[in-house]
Structure 1
Amino acid sequence: MTYTSPLLSLPGAVPGGAPDEAVAAHYGDPFREQRLLAQGQAVVDLSHRGVVTVTGPDRLSWLNTLSSQLLLKLAPGEASETLLLSVQGRIDFSARIVDDGATAWLIVEGAEAPGLTEWLQRMKFMLRVEIADVSADWAVVGSVARIDAFEGRTVWADPWPGVGAGGFAYSAVESHPGLERPWFEYLIPQVSLLEAVTGLEGYTPAGMMAAEALRIAAWRPRVGFETDDKTIPHELDLMRTAVHLAKGCYKGQETVARVHNLGHPPRRLVFLHLDGSQHTLPARGSGIVAEGRTVGRITSVAHHWEMGPIALAVVKRSVDPSARLLVQDADEQYAAAQEVIVPPDAGQVVGRATGFLKGPR
């Protein structure tokens, strides 16, 4: 059965585009919604997210053996982020995780939940764990604010852009733009979603257009947008929040360590300021052209209420950080200036005394 959020019944609600068609793109005034969201006065319907639970006394030790993050000592209420990788170190699943002392809650993109549940079921063996896809029972609501009315509910606090213990930052900036976007995702029973959101005093519903614009401005990667079937975490600066470089073995660890210590990721994430004179935006997936050749693709694009048209893109590592780029969308071209997120020299940290790369702060 196809899910449709009850918040689409609110006045002015316009459904989003794929993969967000189950929730609102906006409620009639996307720039106002974006401004209020940035100021901590709005909430976003993320009820199309997938929610998978893992219960049982072995849940954290078991998840720790499977994934890229150190989860053994995850305290009740502490939020983290972890990746399930292929043998080649490519991202198969990405999960926001918070444990309440009895249940590990994994928040994922909606399309990921069935596959993640099935994969985890195959990996149970004789351990004392139980896995369930509870997406039909639980909804997610996002905000940049700690919402007093949701006190006591399970909440995931985005660790981005911090550098956790065992993490490593590739981006070169001293003041990361993600610091301007704290982010919290609250778990709400699906049956009370409409009442919970409309009953909030002092908060306006905001659509995915607002949430995505703030995410892009924060350089925050999203699975299914910045990732494809070849993505490794180094390319997206996910080493800072989703990978622990000193934990025990897990599938894909050898590739993660080898690229980080001895090699370079083949691609890198960049932030783009787009020419806004055309009053349109290029489509996601549009090619990035430098010196007459295609060197990457647009992965996310939005119109920011302050910065204008912005985008995230994944380009070849060899692209000159100072190069002016063109975005080719069918017959339209958009000039683009890049800001470095992952530098061309990312990786190969063994023996390096200086450079862009930074360990935990």
Structure 2
Amino acid sequence: MKLRILAAAALLMSTAITAQAEAVKLGYNGAPDAKKNAVHYFAETLERIVEEKSGIEIELYPNSQLGNEQERMENTLAAPSLNVASFAGLSPVVPESFVSNTPFMFSTAEEARTFFDEGAYWKMVEQAFSDRTGGSEILAVVEEGGFLAFTSTDRAIHSPADFDGLKFRAMDPSQVALYEAMGASGTPIPWTEVYSALQTGVVEGQMNPPLYIILGSLNEVQKYMTRANVQYSMQFLVGNGAWLNSLSEADRKVLEEAVAEANAMTRGKVQATVESRVEWLAENGMEVITPTAAQLAEFQKIGQPSFIEWLGTQSIDPSFIEAAFNDLGKSDLLQK
């Protein structure tokens, strides 16, 4: 009997060690090309730093290999894994995150980074996510490639009036709301289907940072790019709560420091390459349009109030909206 108990204990210990040693999966969108895909650069950098400094092993799954946005989020909340989610993956859990997607909210990259790193609003979003998922966490806001630009097929976008009647690909419901405010229609289409949707005319335009326009070869099916600084492009590193809680104090510290280091390096890379990517697109078939200050103000005048009004229809606690605009020192915009 004693031998059986010892054997069973040994088996349990072996199983626990094997489970602990099993690599954690990290899924995300886009190709495994660090030069073209900033999210892959972040993931690759995070993997290297963590594995150099701890016993944690990370396996990378780019190109949506672990499923679409919703599937990856569901898997991450259910099993030991990491996931870089867009708003399409994050917002079903915390629709309050849409507040940070308010168009023309940030003037500079530095303003956006301070907003997420230090603001009260984003801490509220992180807490809400953790509360609703039983302890899973948003570990980082990962930059994709600077500000989003509008692209279109047959009609250049110089002002909101140019959107009239056009069909645009939307990443999530918040983008649908923005297009409708401009007089266009928005259709949610997964990233993996964007090229074919533009090629076949299912939609006539979309918005993404220059990096993703290159990554998706969208310059082949879009003629114009308007640098309207619509939204600052970011995704969100999410970690399964049970897995995070299973880490030793030392390994958890390594992970947190590695996330911060990889994020800082990604931000530097993004900032250093935005203009060269715009130049590449101009040299490879796209007409680049840079709106004047007056034109940008016109986009903001129409797009921002309509979006804030839409936020009010999404069952979002007004305190999240107030906190976000207070963080930016722009609470007066809520009174208009």
TM more than 0.5: no
Q: TM-score range by the shorter chain?
A: under 0.3
**TM-score of the superposition, structure 1-length normalised?**
0.26
Task: Tell me the TM-score normalized by structure 2.
Answer: 0.28
Determine which structure has more spread, i.e. the larger CA radius of gyration. 2
The structure with higher relative contact order (CA 8 Å, sep 6+) is: 2
Looking at secondary structure, tell me which structure has more strand per residue. 1
